[in-house]
Structure formats: C-alpha cells, structure tokens
C-alpha cells in the first residue's frame, strides 16, 4: 500500500491528531502547513499499519512513547552536502569577509536534519581559516535525526553525489581532508565535529538563550503557517547579534511583517540581516 491508499485526512481529523499530540506529548504541530502534515500522518498510518486516523489516534492515546519515535515520518528531512552551491559561494565571497573581523563566531543551524548543512558550513569556515574561532550549535526537533547528524557518517550511496558537490565547490581540495573515506562511507573528521554542539530543540516552543552571528534555518519554515513563521522569525531576531545574518531556504517565503525584523542582503540566495531596533 502507498500513502495514496490512506484517504486524505479531513481538517477535523488533522486537528484531532495535532490536539492529541499536543496534549499527550507537549509537541505542538498545530501551526504546521496542513497539506504536508496530512501527508506525514498518512505515511505514518501506512508504515505502522494502523489502518485509519482512528487507529493512529488510539495509539497516540495509549502509548506514551509512540510519537517520539515517529517525528521523522511526520516531517521532511531532506538535506545534502553543499545543497544549492551558489549559496556557499555567496557566503564565501560576501559574508565571510565580514565575519573575519569578529573575535569569536557563533552559528546556529536550526532544523539541521542529518547534519550535511552544518558540516558544509564548517568546511567553508575551515577554508577561510575561521573554524578555529567558531562554535556552531546544530538543533533539530527529532532526536533520531540528530543522532545521525552527530555521527556525521554518510553511507556509500551518497558518497559519489557528495564528492561531486564537494569538488564543484572546492575543485583544488581533497574530500579526504575533511572526511575519512573508508568502507565506501564518508565520515566527518573530528577536527570539524569538535566545533559543533548538537541539541534537541523545538523551534515552535523552546526558548533560545544564546546569541549568534549567523542563523541558518533552511527548508524548515516551509512547513509552517504564516503565524508560526513570524513567531520563529521573532525568535531568530532576538537570538541574533545586532549585525547578525539569517539564511533561509529557497522556498521559505518570508511573511510581509518580517520586513520590520530583517532586511534583504541577497534575494537570490535568501540571505537577510537583522534590523536592530
């Protein structure tokens, strides 16, 4: 069976599931974009063979741990090394020279998935000799995807794709400088990993006490409605240094109201700068 064989969820069914999850586990999916969340629930019903929305709802009510192990079925985790190459070139040419003047650098990768974007930035920083003064915080809602990010080990079926992206960006460098390439896998070397701290964090609900020079939040808000996007953008605004940058994904549409918080630095690569009040 495919997800198409689970009848499309109605708005009422979606609300009953998100309300049950919020009440039972304290995880708030109520302002996620409904279409993609409905697909996520349909996937979960199929995968766990729960038969129907009612089956899923009963499982949520009966099993205290259930949803915690299913976050990755409800959300989308797609990521890759050097995804959208022009962004990394833009960062290297226009943002890195500004960051060079800083004494310390703090980065936040919000919704880091399995870590490829975090390691890409670490490589860009190392190349500019800035990694030594950098601390990066990589966060995600899902503990299981964070465990993969922390491991930083990418399987053989991804290695040729990632080698190509790496070589396109750094034609004169060797991937072996940054990854241990054995048994067909690519494992991130410790000198990159030691600058990164991984932490479970829910953008919808959790505060952030630290300040950052750059916040990456790419392809996460795409699944949020306008009200939730603004809530999260306010969190980023408050977590950025006054001259800090926000980098979002190509399809992350910024609400009009965000123009008071961020100015566009480069519309094509979706780089913004905090407007300090």
Ligand X SMILES: C[S@@+](CC[C@H](N)C(=O)[O-])C[C@H]1O[C@@H](n2cnc3c(N)ncnc32)[C@H](O)[C@@H]1O
Alpha-carbon gap, residue 202 to 220, rounded angstroms: 11
Nearer to ligand X, 89 or 133 (CB): 89
* C-beta separation of 254 from 262 below 8 A: yes
> Does residue 208 interact with ligand X by CB under 6 A?
no
- Taking CB under 6 A as the binding criterion, the range among 62-70, 87-95, 212-220, 259-267 that sits at the site for ligand X is 212-220
Please enumerate in sequence order all residues whose Cβ is within 8 A of that of 269, keeping only pairs 6 or more positions apart, or say none.
84, 86, 87, 90, 91, 247
> Does residue 269 interact with ligand X by CB under 6 A?
no
> Does residue 218 interact with ligand X by CB under 6 A?
yes
E strand or H helix that includes residue 241? strand 240-248
- Taking CB under 6 A as the binding criterion, the range among 1-9, 16-24, 95-103, 141-149 that sits at the site for ligand X is 141-149
End-to-end alpha carbon distance in the chain: 54
For 214-225, b where at least 16 C-beta lie within 10 A, e where not — what string?
bbbbbbbbbbbe
Q: Which of 13, 117, 148, 213 binds ligand X (CB under 6 A)?
A: 117
Draw the binding track, 67-106, toward ligand X (x: CB under 6 A; -: no contact): --------xxxxx---x-----------------------
Query: Pseudo-torsion of CA 110, 76, 125, 238, nearest 10°?
Result: -20
Least Å from the CB of residue 49 to ligand X? 23
Alpha-carbon gap, residue 195 to 131, rounded angstroms: 7
Phi first, then psi, for residue 176 (nearest 5°) are -65, -20
* C-beta separation of 206 from 235 below 8 A: no
* C-beta separation of 185 from 176 below 8 A: no
Q: Which of 102, 135, 202, 241 binds ligand X (CB under 6 A)?
A: 202
Q: Which of 13, 73, 140, 213 binds ligand X (CB under 6 A)?
A: 140
> Does residue 165 interact with ligand X by CB under 6 A?
no
For residue 141, give the nearest of 223, 249, 254 by alpha carbon.
223
- Count of residues interacting with ligand X (CB under 6 A): 21
- Taking CB under 6 A as the binding criterion, the range among 34-42, 175-183, 214-222, 258-266 that sits at the site for ligand X is 214-222
User: Look-up: residue for tokens 């306010």?
Assistant: 234
> Does residue 204 interact with ligand X by CB under 6 A?
yes
> Does residue 148 interact with ligand X by CB under 6 A?
no
Nearer to ligand X, 28 or 180 (CB): 28
> Does residue 207 interact with ligand X by CB under 6 A?
no
> Does residue 244 interact with ligand X by CB under 6 A?
no
Q: Which residues bind ligand X (CB under 6 A)?
A: 75-79, 83, 111-113, 117, 140-142, 145, 202-204, 218-220, 249
């Amino acid at each position: 069976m495919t997800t198409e064989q689970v009848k499309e969820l109605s708005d009422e069914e979606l609300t009953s599931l998100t309300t049950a999850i919020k009440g039972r586990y304290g995880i708030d999916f109520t302002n996620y974009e409904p279409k993609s969340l409905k697909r996520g629930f349909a996937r979960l019903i199929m995968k766990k063979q729960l038969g129907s929305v009612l089956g899923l709802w009963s499982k949520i009510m009966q099993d205290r741990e259930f949803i915690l192990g299913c976050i990755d079925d409800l959300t989308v985790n797609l990521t890759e090394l050097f995804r959208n190459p022009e962004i990394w070139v833009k960062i290297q040419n226009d943002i890195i020279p500004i960051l060079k003047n800083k004494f310390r650098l703090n980065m936040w990768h919000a919704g880091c998935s399995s870590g490829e974007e975090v390691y890409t930035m670490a490589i860009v920083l190392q190349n500019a000799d800035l990694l030594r003064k950098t601390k990066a915080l990589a966060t995600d809602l899902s503990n299981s995807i964070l465990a993969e990010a922390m491991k930083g080990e990418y399987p053989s079926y991804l290695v040729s794709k990632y080698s190509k992206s790496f070589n396109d960006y750094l034609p004169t460098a060797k991937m072996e400088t940054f990854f241990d390439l054995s048994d067909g896998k690519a494992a991130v070397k410790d000198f990159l990993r030691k600058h990164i701290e991984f932490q479970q964090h829910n953008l919808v609900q959790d505060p952030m006490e630290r300040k950052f020079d750059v916040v990456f939040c790419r392809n996460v808000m795409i699944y949020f409605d306008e009200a939730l996007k603004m809530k999260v953008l306010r969190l980023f605004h408050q977590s950025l240094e006054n001259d800090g940058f926000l980098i979002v994904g190509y399809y992350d549409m910024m609400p009009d109201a965000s123009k008071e918080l961020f100015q566009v630095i480069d519309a094509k690569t979706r780089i913004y700068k905090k407007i300090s009040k």
